[in-house]
């Protein structure tokens, strides 16, 4: 790689939304709070979320009806079937409901659809099972908000369907995919109006009750599926006069699903995750312990990175390669031996998933290389032998690599199923809504969707969607950018910011690890060291001595480090136990004259 190519990453500074001088903190901390739009008044709650209380669950629209119905079911020993989803959010949510309701004395069982044969959403098979086995209530978690058809099936069979979900409900103004006819939409609108007394912006399934933070005016619409289930349980525990400490023991599950589902770690999610990470670090659940052990993270604190890159992929692997029930059992079992077996099984499935992923990625890259990227602002690729469970991950990688939305479709005969991933600047759900006449169905949100399409419609869909993307994205720079919180100087580094720094964690979605720039600095050339032929460390000359910098995978920059007179660095902090710190270099450039 030539040196010029190295410095292509554009540095973009985030808006500092609130004047830094308004805060009573060291400047570095103030900048970080400002870029996260945390007001000086809100700083306490943000820095010490574990001390803040959660919002009153009864402020969630429709929750009371559900709590009353469930406590009735408990009294009458009615059977409740918990219906989850096959990803880490849906699995943790199912495990949470199953464990707690079982503990409360409910007659409960669980159901998770098979990803490949049943697909996403409320499964007809589950409704059949419920009817056959005499379940009176079907309680969903992380799914169901678009299940118009299934809701009728359940109602017809006399089952009370209670939907808890966090996905975006279908809007009335959306054009309908083929499966949903216009007269049905008109009918649903009519019914909504009757039920709620006013026109609703959404079309909702005709269920016994629906719990979704996106309905009504709940303060936090960012909850994951497992978070919504937790709120329901909070209300239920309170109603039944049960000990909420018992419920809090399961915040490890809430942290798993919340981080795994990539919802922003702010407000209530931040409280859940902060408390939940502590529970994960010292988990009482044999399955969690076994999974940590087999993936080599049983020593030390668990942070969101461990969930996103170690635990969640293993929990998700079951749904992708075989059946999510294996992961569910892992999170439910109290048997140490069984937990170990299941953890080993998930470990194997995860390796298999990685192999599949690599093969699909290679094939997809090959297909992209045949495209002119100046004409293709959105990538639509298809094949007949891509594993549907893995194409979403590959689509995400393509989005990162090419900085544009990507859709991967796998065909079985004439019917294709696709996984779509997007960038902030392009609302995928909106785009699919526009061209839904070519689709058999779709769902999801701004950054990630799923779709079904007939082969005969593929070419035109591709063309139309790409025209639209061209229009939307032509003027947006698609080169890789690095977002920075701000620029600091040597004086900022001398303040006691390290005291506060750890309280900014956990970092993750919605609260990324802060990155700063320091410009025009000298490095001590004699201090440059290379480790394992890929990592580089060096000392930075600062007014009061030297500051150690480490650049993981920074080997390519060695020549620059040796030759440049002065450099600009982008870095994050590594803060040690004793509050001394080093800089983790993220990018560097020669200082422009
Ligand atoms: Mn979810």
Q: Is residue 481 predicted with pLDDT exceeding 50?
A: yes
Query: Rounded to an integer, what distance in angstroms lies between the CA atom of residue 571 and that of residue 584?
Result: 5
Contact 264, 510 (CB under 8 A): yes
Please check the confidence at residue 398 and state whether its pLDDT lies above 90. Answer: yes
Q: pLDDT-based confidence at 121, cuts 50/70/90?
A: confident
Tens of pLDDT, residues 208-235: 999 999 998 898 999 999 999 999 999 9
pLDDT of residue 178: 44
Q: Find the 309 Cα to ligand 1 centroid distance in Å.
A: 17
Who's near 202: CB < 8 A, 6+ residues apart?
169, 170, 171, 172, 192, 215
List, edge to edge, every strand of the sheet that includes 486-487: 486-487, 516-521, 567-575, 581-590, 545-551, 535-542, 523-531
pLDDT digit string (tens) for 156-204? 999 999 999 999 888 765 544 444 445 566 666 666 666 655 556 788 9
Place of tokens 């720039």: 517
Q: Looking at the predicted structure, is the pLDDT value of residue 326 above 60? A: yes
Residue with the two structure tokens 């004395």: 105
Cα separation, 461 vs 241, in Å, equals 55
Give the distance (Å) from ligand 1 centre to CA of residue 88.
Answer: 8
Q: Is the dihedral of CA 369, 370, 376, 381 positive or negative?
A: negative
Dist. CA 41–CA 563, nearest whole Å: 47
Say how far apart CA 443 and CA 146 lie, in whole Å.
Answer: 8
- Higher model confidence: residue 60 or residue 119? 60
Q: Which residues pair with 588 in a beta bridge?
A: 569
Distance from the alpha carbon of residue 458 to the mean position of ligand 1, in angstroms: 28
Residue 54's pLDDT band, with cuts at 50, 70 and 90, is confident
- The residues with which 11 forms a beta bridge, in sequence order, are 482
Percent of the chain with pLDDT over 90: 83
Average of pLDDT values for 277-302?
A: 96
- Mean pLDDT, residues 136-140 taken together: 98
Alpha carbon of 325 to ligand 1 centroid (Å) = 17
* Mean pLDDT over each residue of the chain, to the nearest integer: 92
Q: What spacing in Å lies between the alpha carbon of 90 and ligand 1's midpoint?
A: 6
- Ligand 1 center–CA 579 separation, angstroms: 37
Distance 256 CA to ligand 1 centre (A): 11
Write down the pLDDT at residue 576. Answer: 93
Q: Cα angle vertex 482, ends 481, 488, to 5°?
A: 140
C-alpha 380 – ligand 1 centre gap (Å) = 25
Distance 438 CA to ligand 1 centre (A): 26
- In tens, the pLDDT along 15-37 reads 999 999 999 999 999 999 999 99
Two structure tokens written together for 145: 């908000």
More confident residue, 188 or 575: 575
Which domains are delineated in the chain? Answer: 3-42+481-590 (2.40.50.460), 57-169+204-347 (3.90.1640.30), 371-473 (3.10.310.30)
What is the per-residue pLDDT for 176? Answer: 47
Give the per-residue pLDDT at 193: 63
Nearest to 462 by CA among 518, 379, 543, 542: 379
Residue 458: which pLDDT band, with cuts at 50, 70 and 90? very high
Ligand 1 centroid vs 262 CA: distance in angstroms?
A: 9
Report how far ligand 1's centroid is from the alpha carbon of 381 (Å).
25
CA of 574 to the centre of ligand 1 (A): 32
Q: How far is the C-alpha of 67 from the C-alpha of 209, rounded, in Å? A: 10
DSSP letter at 177 equals P
Cα 259 to ligand 1 centroid, rounded to whole Å: 10
Distance, CA 112 to ligand 1 centroid (Å)? 13
- CA–centroid distance, residue 359 to ligand 1 (Å): 27
Nearest-Å Rg of the Cα atoms of the chain is 25
Mean pLDDT, residues 299-303: 93
Residue 195 Cα, ligand 1 centroid: separation in angstroms?
Answer: 27
**What per-residue confidence (pLDDT) applies to 50?**
82
Strand ranges in 304-374 using DSSP code E only, listed in sequence order: none
C-alpha of residue 525 to centroid of ligand 1, in Å: 49
Distance 223 CA to ligand 1 centre (A): 9
pLDDT, tens only, 547-558: 999 999 999 999
Q: Is 391 exposed, middle or buried (0-12, 13-18, 19+ CB in 10 A)?
A: buried
527: alpha, beta or left? (left if phi > 0; alpha if psi -120 to 50): alpha
Looking at residue 119, what is its pLDDT?
Answer: 80
């Amino acid at each position: 790689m030539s040196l010029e190519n190295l410095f292509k990453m554009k540095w973009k500074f985030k808006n500092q939304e609130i004047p830094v001088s308004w805060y009573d903190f060291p400047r570095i901390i103030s900048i970080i709070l400002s870029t996260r739009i945390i007001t000086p008044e809100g700083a306490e709650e943000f820095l010490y979320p574990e001390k803040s209380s959660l919002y009153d669950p009864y402020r969630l629209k429709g929750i009371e009806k559900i709590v009353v119905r469930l406590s009735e079911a408990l009294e009458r020993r009615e059977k409740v079937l918990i219906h989850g989803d096959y990803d880490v959010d849906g699995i943790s949510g199912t495990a949470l409901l199953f464990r707690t309701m079982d503990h409360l004395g409910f007659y409960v069982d669980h159901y998770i659809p098979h990803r490949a044969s049943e697909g996403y959403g409320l499964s007809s098979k589950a409704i059949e099972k419920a009817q056959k086995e005499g379940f009176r209530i079907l309680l969903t978690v992380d799914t169901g908000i678009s299940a118009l058809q299934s809701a009728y099936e359940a109602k017809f069979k006399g089952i009370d369907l209670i939907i808890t979900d966090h996905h975006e409900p279908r809007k009335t103004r959306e054009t309908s995919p083929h499966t949903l006819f216009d007269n049905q939409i008109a009918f649903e609108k009519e019914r909504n109006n009757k039920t709620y007394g006013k026109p609703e912006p959404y079309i909702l399934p005709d269920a016994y009750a629906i719990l979704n933070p996106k309905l009504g005016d709940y303060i936090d619409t960012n909850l994951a599926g497992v978070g919504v289930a937790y709120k329901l349980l909070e209300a239920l525990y309170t109603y039944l006069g049960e000990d909420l400490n018992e419920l809090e023991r399961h915040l490890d599950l809430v942290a798993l699903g919340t981080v795994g589902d990539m919802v922003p770690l702010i407000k209530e999610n931040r409280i859940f995750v902060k408390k939940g990470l502590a529970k994960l670090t010292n988990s009482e659940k044999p399955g969690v312990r076994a999974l940590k052990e087999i993936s080599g993270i049983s020593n030390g604190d668990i942070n969101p990175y461990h969930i996103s890159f170690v635990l969640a992929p293993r929990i998700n692997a079951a749904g992708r390669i075989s059946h999510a029930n294996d992961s569910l059992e892992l999170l439910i079992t109290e048997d140490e031996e069984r937990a170990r077996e299941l953890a080993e099984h998930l470990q194997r499935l995860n390796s298999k998933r990685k192999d599949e992923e690599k093969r699909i990625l290679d094939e997809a890259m090959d297909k992209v290389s045949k495209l002119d990227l100046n004409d293709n602002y959105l990538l639509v690729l298809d094949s007949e032998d891509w594993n549907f469970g893995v194409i979403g991950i590959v689509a995400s990688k393509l989005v990162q690599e090419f900085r544009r939305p990507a859709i991967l479709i796998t065909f079985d005969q004439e019917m294709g199923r696709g996984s779509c991933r997007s960038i902030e600047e392009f609302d995928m759900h909106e785009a699919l809504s526009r061209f839904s006449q070519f689709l058999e169905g779709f769902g999801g949100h701004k950054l990630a969707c799923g779709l079904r399409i007939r082969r005969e419609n593929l070419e035109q869909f591709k063309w139309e969607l790409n025209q639209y993307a061209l229009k939307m994205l032509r003027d947006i720079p698609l080169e890789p950018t690095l977002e920075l919180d701000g620029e600091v100087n040597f004086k900022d580094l001398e303040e006691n910011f390290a005291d506060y720094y750890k309280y900014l964690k956990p970092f993750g979605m919605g609260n990324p690890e802060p990155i700063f720039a320091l410009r025009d600095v000298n490095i001590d050339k004699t201090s440059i060291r290379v480790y394992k032929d890929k990592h580089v460390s060096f000392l930075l000359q600062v007014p009061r001595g030297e500051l150690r910098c480490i650049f993981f995978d920074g080997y390519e920059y060695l020549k620059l480090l040796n030759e440049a007179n002065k450099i600009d660095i982008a870095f994050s902090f590594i803060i040690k136990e004793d509050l001394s710190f080093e800089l983790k270099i993220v990018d560097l450039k020669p200082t422009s004259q």
